[in-house]
């Protein structure tokens, strides 16, 4: 069995910071030792890593990625192989990607397709949520068995009519089923029916540039959909997770629901914390590089989101990594913004970007770990196997150097995409070493991972905050 002792570092978890050595045996954390204790029984076969001056944190967990995702006749440009390697470079050791139920097909069929894409390809561990794109009686019946197989979260769309869209009745039925089998519903909360009207009107008026993507998806329609999703979840008594929250109005709905004790949580993504809507108006079709849904928004929304991160009303930062190359993919939308594939390349930069919140004093190092690792593990049934450095947990670790700086950009990133939305952004801090289940994937700038290392992670049922019972308006008594 391999043994690694990570010495002289500062161990940061969501619950505190301590000077300690971390002992890894095989694939697991064996112990946190008082600094300088040395190895308990001699030291044969022991690899030592000196983490002096560095932070030792649980590996990042990104619960929102789309590798090889079909969209508008194209596929997102990162495969499971390239995308998970890029994630590892950035200190993420687990992703949860989205399998998609084909319209007219079964949910199990969707899962099997994505499982076969990922198997033997992933540099890091991976799990799946399921996108339900065609809610039928048969699909509801399938959910129980899928939950037993570790697929404990289901994404629905209030956007994209005719593609992924579910109506309120379908949403309610999935939520009732999820409540009964211990699953979580994840919601893409934008009012797609209203958005489609605005889109048609824009096209009829000859407004076809990328910036119209943002103008036809106003924040109020994200707020409205978030409200509706929350009420439907309340009626069903189902835990709800709002994905890629970008708007102050949507956050206000989440805050209200949480304040009355409802099991609602939300994630935001680095693009909504760092990028301004004006980027979508860049000339020569460059604005297409920033097209994602919901769209990146104005400064006031970013301020609200950072506040939500500080107050705890936003629980998770994931990436919604869904890259499309500018050449040949984003370009499909020249002359018609509705044809621009939606999504941005982010998976490699999440840990660095959110660490800037520590650098600026907005959040503590513990909160950084909580947002990027511990909370996602807890909310999606992976804790304490992942998301912590407790003895017995998977030895997924990052040694992070707070004193190194680097700039982000397409020339140096590892994502399979020909541009960066964070081009030239200066980062204080850098990933130094990445360990996944006891295997060193990255050290001293040398990548040593391989695509056959990552394993499928079956996830447990929802065990987050209690679902209120006996609350008027809920289906639960």
Contact set with ligand URP (CB under 6 A)? 66, 188, 244, 292-293, 320, 322, 342-343
CB nearer to Zn ion: give 114 or 400.
114
* Contact map string, positions 164 to 193, toward Zn ion, x by CB under 5 A: ------------------------x-----
In this structure, are residues 75 and 107 in contact, taking their beta carbons and an 8 Å threshold? Answer: no
What gap in Å lies between CA 264 and CA 261, rounded to an integer?
Answer: 8
Kindly state the tokens that stand for 184.
């979580």
The answer to whether the beta carbons of residues 13 and 375 sit under 8 Å apart is no
Where on the phi/psi map is residue 320: left (φ > 0), alpha (ψ -120 to 50), or beta?
left
DSSP 239: -
Contacts of 444 (CB under 8 A, 6+ apart): 432, 433
Shortest separation between residue 76's beta carbon and ligand URP, angstroms: 8
Nearer to ligand URP, 66 or 367 (CB): 66
30 binds, among Zn ion, ligand URP, none (CB under 5 to 8 A by kind): none
* Least separation in angstroms between CB 230 and Zn ion: 17
Nearest distance from C-beta of residue 417 to ligand URP, angstroms: 14
Q: Where are the alpha helices (DSSP H) in 12-103?
A: 80-89
78 binds Zn ion (CB under 5 A): no
Of 76 and 433, nearer to ligand URP (C-beta) is 76
Applying CB under 5 A, which part among 316-324, 402-410, 428-436, 455-463 lies near Zn ion? 316-324
On the 0-12 / 13-18 / 19+ scale of CB atoms within 10 A, 413 is buried
Cβ-based nearer residue to ligand URP, 346 or 363: 346
> Among residues 320, 352, 394, 396, which is the contact residue for Zn ion, using CB under 5 A?
320
Nearest approach, Cβ of residue 292 and Zn ion (Å): 9
Least distance from ligand URP to the Cβ atom of residue 394, Å? 27
Q: Which two tokens stand for residue 406?
A: 């680097």
Q: Identify the H or E element spanning 309.
A: helix 299-311
Taking CB positions, which residue lies at the least distance from ligand URP? 342
Gyration radius of the chain's alpha carbons: 22
Residue nearest to Zn ion (CB): 188
C-alpha separations of 309 from 4, 201, 229 in Å: 34, 36, 21
Q: How far is the CB of 341 from Zn ion (least distance, A)?
A: 12
Distance CA 233, CA 172 (A): 7
Closest distance to ligand URP from the beta carbon of 190 (Å): 9
Comparing CB distances to ligand URP, the nearer of 173 and 244 is: 244
Q: Which residues bind Zn ion (CB under 5 A)?
A: 188, 320
């Amino acid at each position: 069995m391999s043994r690694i002792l990570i010495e002289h570092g500062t161990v940061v978890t969501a619950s505190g910071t301590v000077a300690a050595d971390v002992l890894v045996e095989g694939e697991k954390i064996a112990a946190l030792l008082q600094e300088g204790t040395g190895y308990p029984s001699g030291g044969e076969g022991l690899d030592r890593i000196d983490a002096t001056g560095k932070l030792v944190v649980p590996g990042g967990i990104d619960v929102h990625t789309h590798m090889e995702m079909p969209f508008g006749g194209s596929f997102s440009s990162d495969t499971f192989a390239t995308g998970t390697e890029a994630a590892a470079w950035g200190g993420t050791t687990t992703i949860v990607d989205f399998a998609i139920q084909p319209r007219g097909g079964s949910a199990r069929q969707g899962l099997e397709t994505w499982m076969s894409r990922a198997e033997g390809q992933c540099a890091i561990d991976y799990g799946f949520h399921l996108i339900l794109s065609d809610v039928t009686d048969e699909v509801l019946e399938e959910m129980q068995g899928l939950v037993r197989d570790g697929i404990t979260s289901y994404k629905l769309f209030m956007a994209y009519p005719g593609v992924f869209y579910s109506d309120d009745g379908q949403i309610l039925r999935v939520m009732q089923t999820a409540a009964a089998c211990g699953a979580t519903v994840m919601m893409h909360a934008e009012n797609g029916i209203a958005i489609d009207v605005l889109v048609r009107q824009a096209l009829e008026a000859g407004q076809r540039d990328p910036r119209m993507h943002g103008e036809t998806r106003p924040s109020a329609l994200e707020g409205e959909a978030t409200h509706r999703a929350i009420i439907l979840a309340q009626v069903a008594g189902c835990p709800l997770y709002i994905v890629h929250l970008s708007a102050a109005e949507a956050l206000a709905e989440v805050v209200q629901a949480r304040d009355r004790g409802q099991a609602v949580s939300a994630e935001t993504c680095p693009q909504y914390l760092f990028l301004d809507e004006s980027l979508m108006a860049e000339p020569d079709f460059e604005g297409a590089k920033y097209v994602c849904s919901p769209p990146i928004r104005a400064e006031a929304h970013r301020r609200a989101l950072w506040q939500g991160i500080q107050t705890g009303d936003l629980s998770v930062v994931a990436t919604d990594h869904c890259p499309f190359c500018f050449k040949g993919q984003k370009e499909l939308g020249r002359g018609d913004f509705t044809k621009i594939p939606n999504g941005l390349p982010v998976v490699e930069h999440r840990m660095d970007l959110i660490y800037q919140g520590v650098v600026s004093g907005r959040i503590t190092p513990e909160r950084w770990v909580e947002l990027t690792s511990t909370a996602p593990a807890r909310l999606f049934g992976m804790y304490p196997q992942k998301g912590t450095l407790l003895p017995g947990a998977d030895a997924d670790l990052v040694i992070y150097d707070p004193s190194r700086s680097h700039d982000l950009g397409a020339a140096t990133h590892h994502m399979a995409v020909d541009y960066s939305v964070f081009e030239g952004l200066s980062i204080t801090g850098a990933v130094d070493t990445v360990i996944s289940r006891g295997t060193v994937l990255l050290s001293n700038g040398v990548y040593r991972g391989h695509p056959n290392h990552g394993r499928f992670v079956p996830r447990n049922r929802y065990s987050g905050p209690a679902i209120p019972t006996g609350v008027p308006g809920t289906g639960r008594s």
